[in-house]
Structures are given as structure tokens and as C-alpha cells.
Amino acid sequence: MTLLSVRAPRAEAVTLCLFEGDTETRVPMAREGEDWTADAPAPGTRYGLRAHGTWAPEHGLWFDPAKLLVDPRAVELDRPFAYSPALSAYGVDTAALVPRAVMPGALPDMPRAPPRFRRGGLIYEVNVRGLTMLHAQIPEARRGTVAALAHPAVLAHLEKLHVSAVELMPITAWIDERHLPPLGLRNAWGYNPVVPMALDPRLCPGGVAELRETVAALHARGIGVILDLVFNHTGESDVLGPVLSLRGLDNAAYAHAPDGTLINDTGCGNTLDFANPAVRALVLDSLRHFVRHCGVDGFRFDLATIMARGPGFAADAPIFAEIAADPWLADRVLIAEPWDIGPGGYQLGRFPANWLEWNDRYRDDVRRFWRGDAAIGVLAQRIAGSSAIFGMDCRSVNFLAAHDGFTLADTLAYRERHNHANGEDNRDGHGENFSWNNGVEGPTADPAVLARRTALARAMLGTLFVSAGTIQLTAGDEFGRSQRGNNNAYAQDNAVTWIDWERRDRALEDHVAALAAWRAARDLSQFPEDGTWTALDGGALDAARWEGPATPGFVWQAGKEAARPTGLRIDRAAPEAGPLEDVLEDGGPGSGSGEVPA
């Protein structure tokens, strides 16, 4: 008989709760060391857990048998999480409020295969719901789901952009932050998970099979799948937060200060403790699950510095070696968001050599250059792969915009954030975005302002597509998606974050497709060592020109030893011409003209 096991080392008793409709049958579990076991329910059975013990939050004990708890290793839930104050109230039964885990049957292993991704390619960051909710060609019942990504219209768009891999913003089950329901808002991004393996029924109603089939459809088109996973905290939040899973079973999974208070290096109320082997084991099991049973190609780790804390950051943290030694994980694409808000939290360039890293320095410096307040030397460093940060092994993930912050279009249309719809008096979100409005704050009919914004968007996109390293484009930035100046739209599950396919800028989309085709024909995983840099007038670039704020740009041309003698031209004074000049003699994009094809 297969056993169901759950870790709860300080519990006095743990009960397995089996549900048939609303009827609950309780089965005592047996202690085995720090774990509790019982015969596993039959596949398809809905179940939960109750843990008995002391309720003393001030001492890190949240045992309350009135709280139905979700198995931390659940892979399927029968309903989404929904916030209620009752989830935090001692002695209030929550069986009617908490999802039940669904016991899985045997999950087939996927064939082992190398990741469908190459360094230097294009990662397309996708909010599954936002991408598909307004897409007229997708059947209405399928919109907003993982399955919608396998629709022919979506696949055709990804192929048009030569996407190497889609990076799916969190699709595991999350709960709304407690301040959102009273405001009539709900979480639109998913960065507030509860259990790490269970897919959210709103996004993936078909469970593991739906994700596996969608991955297969993308793989058939040569497109990899990267999951954006949140292992830095859970939606159980701070001491006033809900009791849903780990908090009620094994609160020691969360990092605590010497006085017992929760460490909050994430800004979300709690921090998972990666110095705890049990936490790392849960994370490793989660990663293996998505590779073995769904076939995903890799992972992007939100606030990844947390994974190397114990409590301080360590470049040789155990989790790195454990992933590298795992036969299912060692060859996967691994991408760090290399910062958190804790002490010493900014760790760009310090992750292992086989990891890629989000490079916010690239985003900020490219914006600053085209805004007019960064020297060409700074931009050249970013285009060439940020070797001062990463060395000659280019691990940079270059991006102009991401899910958090302004969209690319809004970077050129808003000087200030406009987050009033979030209900936080416009205090949330980044204060400094290195954005500029080109003369008018927000929408305008002024043709001169619109032309300037369009030219700059093309210039910035051209800069991205000629840059060494891996590049990332957030869905919709290729055709001018706006969030109306909201640079923290996590709570806007509505038209603010839903992509408007009908009114997209098709000319800009075609322009990006041409850039993508140009890049796909070349290996830009590293910047060519053989080449020359000159001023726009053909003269030498001395230190004064490299560092002078008035120098408008430069020309780089590959040397004679290069396999494909290409070049690029950056001219801040004339962005309407486009920053990319392909000097191929075979008549490639922009050959001889300095212009990017429209």
C-alpha cells in the first residue's frame, strides 16, 4: 500500500481528512520521526489535513485542528484559493473555504530530452490570462488558460517573432493578498503561491495533463517552456496572514529572526528558509515534478537571492549544488532574478556559471541612453554583454521592460507612475523608472509626439535585438501594449493587463518580427571578439567621447575574421533611422542604409 506522508515535526497529532462531497471522514495519521503517514487515498480522492498542537503564534506555533490544511506536495486542487479573514481566526473551521487536494494517479515520465532553448535566443514573458483573454480567434471557453497557448493563432504569433522559449508567469495556485478583496481587486500575476506544485485551477483547469499537452504543442514548433516559480515566500503572509498549509504544519519552514519574528526579505510578509534541508527538498521535488511529468525546459526564480540565504547570501549555497547534481535538473535552463529586499539582497552577477540572470542594469542603462542621460560607453557595455558584471561568459538576460514596471510603450509616454487604481494612493510600484513622456503625459493625438515615441520604441527594440546575451520581450511590447501608466499592475485582472489584440500596432509588430528574423540567423550568445568601434563620423573613440554625455552614438563593425561580417549603428540624435545597420553585402535588413525594415 502506498503511503501519504506529511512533515509536521512539532505537531501533537495529524489527521487525514477525506472528502466525498461535503462529507468529511477523518483518519488519524501515524508519526514516523518528523513525518506523519497514512495509507494514501485512491486516485481522484479529495483530501486535506488537520494538525493538532499548540496555538502560540508569538512562538512560531500555529497548530489549530479547526484549520483544513493543503498538503504541501499536492499536485492538483479542486478549486482556487480565496481569501477570507476566517482563515486567520483561531478555532474557526475552514473546511468550506480551503481547496481540497486531489490524489493523483500514476503520472507518466516524459522522455528525457535537452531543453528546447539556446542561449542568445528570445524569451517571451507571458501572463497566460493577460495574453489570451481578448484574443478573438481563441474560443471563449479556452481563453485565459494554459491550453490557449497551444491555439494555432498564438503559436503562429510566437513563430513570427522567432521565440526560443515562452516564460510563463506563475501558474501554480495562489491566493489574493488580504487587502485586495475589500478594494474589489484580485491578484493578476500569481506571485503569491501557497503550495509549490499544484497548478491554479483558474489557469490550468485540466491540471498536469493540460500543462503537459501545451508544452508538447510548443515543443512541436521548436519553442521551449520556462516556468516562473516563486519559492521565496508563500501566500500565508505575515503573522496576521491565513493558515493554509506550511504555517499550520511546519512553520519552521519560514525564516525567523533570533527573537522568533518572521524575517521578511521578500516584502511579502515571510521568507522561506533555504538553510532548512526540508525546504530545499520540497523545492527540488517541485522542480523534478515539472520536468518529469510536464516536460518543461527550465525555470525562472522570483527573488532568487532568497534561495541562497542562510540567512546571508552565499554564492556556494547548497541549493545550487543540489540542482546541479540532479539528473532531471542539471541541464535545465535556470534563470535568477538576482535580488531581494533583504540585507545584501542585490547579487547581480554572483549566481553559478550555468545560470542566466535578469540584468536590470541593461534595462535602466538602455532607457537612460535613449532618454539622453547616459554616455555611449555605458550603452556599449550593455550591448556587448555586460562583461564587467558577468565576465566573458555572457549570462545576461537583457530586457527593456518586464511584468513589473512600465511597459515599453508606457516608458515613452509617462514620466510618473499612475497606480491609483491599485488602491494604495499611488505609493506602490517603482518610483524611478528612467521613463520620459516626450512632451505629453499619457495618451495624445499630437503627431509629432507620437512619431517621436514610435521612433524611440523602434530604436530601443533594435538595441535589444542586437545585444549579446539572451534577450527577453514581455508579451505585447512588440506592438505597443499600454497599462495606462500603471507600473505595478499586479492587482489589475482586467483590461489594464489584458492585451488588446485588435488595436495593436501592426507596423511595430512587423518591425520587431524583422529584427527577430535578423537575430535568429545569428549567434549572439556572446559578443564577437573581433571588431572595431568608431565614432559616427568615422573618427576614433577616445575616453572623452566614450564618456561624454553629448556623444550621440557609435558604429561597431565585425572584423574580417568574423564568420558573418555584421555591424551596428547607434545614433541617439536620429532614432527614427533605427539603431541597427546590417552591413552584410548580401542585402540583408537595412543593408547600407542604416535603417531597419518597417
Residues assigned a catalytic role: 302, 337
The three-state secondary structure class of 398 is: strand
End-to-end Cα spacing for the chain: 65
Residues 6+ apart with CB under 8 A from 461: 400, 408, 477, 478, 511, 512, 515
> What's the CA gap between 570 and 375, in Å, rounded?
12
CB atoms within 10 A of CB 461: 25
Give residue 61's identity as a one-letter amino acid code. Answer: L
Burial class (CB in 10 A: 0-12, 13-18, 19+), 252: middle
The three-state secondary structure class of 270 is: coil
Number of H helices and E strands in the chain, helices first, is 13, 20
> What's the CA gap between 55 and 411, in Å, rounded?
49
* CA 595 to the chain's CA centroid: 33
> What's the CA gap between 345 and 343, in Å, rounded?
5
| Burial call 256-271: b when 16+ CB within 10 Å, e when fewer | beeeeebbbbbebbbb
* Beta-carbon-side half-sphere exposure of residue 320 (alpha carbons within 13 Å): 19
Q: Where are the alpha helices (DSSP H) in 295-427?
A: 318-325, 360-371, 376-383, 387-390, 408-411
Q: What phi, psi does 580 have (nearest 5°)?
A: -100, 125
Q: Are β-strands 470-474 and 122-126 bridged in parallel, bridged antiparallel, or unpaired?
A: parallel
Tell me the three-class secondary structure of 476-502, residue by residue.
CHHHCCCCCCCCCHHHCCCCCCCCCCC
